[in-house]
Amino acid sequence: MKALTYSQYGGPEVVQITEVAPPTPGPDQILIRVHASAVNTGDWRIRAAAFPGIMAIPGRLMFGPLRPRNRRLGSEFAGVVEKVGASVSRFKEGDRVFGMMPMGGATAEYLAIGETSAVARMPASLSFENAAGMPFGGLCALVFLGEYAALKPGHRLLIVGASGGVGAFAVQVAKALGAHVTAVSGPESQDFAAGLGADETVDYKTTNIATLGQRFEVVFDTFGAVTPKMSRDLLVEGGLFLPLNFGLLEIGAALLNRFKSRKIRLAVNPDHMEDMERFAQMVEEGAVRPVVDNIYPMKEAAQAHRRVESRHKRGAVVLRIVDQTE
């Protein structure tokens, strides 16, 4: 089968389509015929070893110090269950499913994944392309805002990077949780952020976020534009700063802030089955809709990686697998 691979860290040009052996599902796994996958900022960071700041150390230890340990790329997928292992009870052959495979291997004609991983049945309204672009941003938004921030109706939330892969879902999830959303993005993304449901939009090119003159219960920074010092001026007493990217500065501030009223929480999305189920339910209910920046055939995966690296995509960059391979 065809799979997206890389044998060294580097620019989009290191991405290749390679012939590899198809997986054989274990007793607790399902075999999925993948119809669509995606390229997200996590895939870009793993491909380029572009781990921010001090995260380069755990990043390289996890993915390979000098060259990638796992040569398979891709973390998001949508497809059809082709085979189920002997002990699988959650899925059956023919189920349309979508999910996350954070350690790579999702961009391929077939994948095998444990039935208790971050995989769920696709809401009937979704196409494979739309579904494949949802798990990375959707799960992250749901876990960070719903669980870590415990966002409540009436909470004021500032989302920095509100139009990207995580932000586009964060705006929708926050609105579904009843928050008042102020969305920060670039000049060309203002109407887009409002269309996602943001109550107020801010252009980072013309407005200095540090001097917004408003305070929030939660500041969610998906881009890396808010420093711990800035967050203190943006948060109400007892408020929470959630930066998606963090280095030594944020780690130090998070430790110090344990003794202060305004907190910083540093976390990584755990990609749990339960969160994927809950997210699928929100999509089914119409609370969250897919947001696709562009769809590329698998053979144009390098271009897709280039688009992701721009840091200006809107929502998800999707790869069509089936058209390319049949």
Ligand X SMILES: NC(=O)c1ccc[n+]([C@@H]2O[C@H](COP(=O)([O-])OP(=O)(O)OC[C@H]3O[C@@H](n4cnc5c(N)ncnc54)[C@H](OP(=O)(O)O)[C@@H]3O)[C@@H](O)[C@H]2O)c1
Point out which residues bind ligand X (CB under 6 A).
40-42, 45, 140, 160-167, 184-186, 189, 204, 222-223, 225, 244-245, 268-269, 311-313
> Smallest gap, in angstroms, from Cβ of residue 194 to ligand X?
12
CB of 30 to ligand X, least distance (A): 25
Nearer Cβ to ligand X (30/157): 157
Shortest distance in whole angstroms from residue 85 CB to ligand X:
29
Cα–Cα distance between 245 and 51 in angstroms, integer? 9
Q: Of all residues in this chain, which one has the CB nearest to ligand X in the complex? A: 164
Q: Nearest distance from residue 26's CB to ligand X, in Å?
A: 27
Torsion of CA 54, 57, 62, 67, to 10 degrees: 120
Question: Which of 91/216 has CB closer to ligand X?
Answer: 216
From CA 158, how far away is CA 216, in angstroms rounded?
Answer: 7
The residue among 104, 83, 25, 51 whose CA lies nearest residue 244 is 51
Q: Which residues contact 249 (CB under 8 A, 6 or more apart)?
A: 227, 228
What stretches of 86-233 adopt beta strand conformation (E)? 96-100, 110-114, 119-121, 156-160, 180-185, 200-203, 216-221
CA–CA distance, 156 with 59 (Å, rounded to integer): 33
Q: Of 5 and 75, which has the nearer Cβ to ligand X?
A: 75
Burial 253-268 (b: 16+ CB within 10 A, else e): bbeebeeeebbbbbee
Closer to ligand X by Cβ: residue 23 or 224: 224
Q: Tell me whether residue 1 or residue 267 sits nearer to ligand X (CB atom).
A: 267
Q: How far is the CB of 50 from ligand X (least distance, A)?
A: 9
The rounded distance, in Å, linking the Cα atoms of 225 and 19 is: 41
Least separation, in Å, of the C-beta of 311 and ligand X? 4
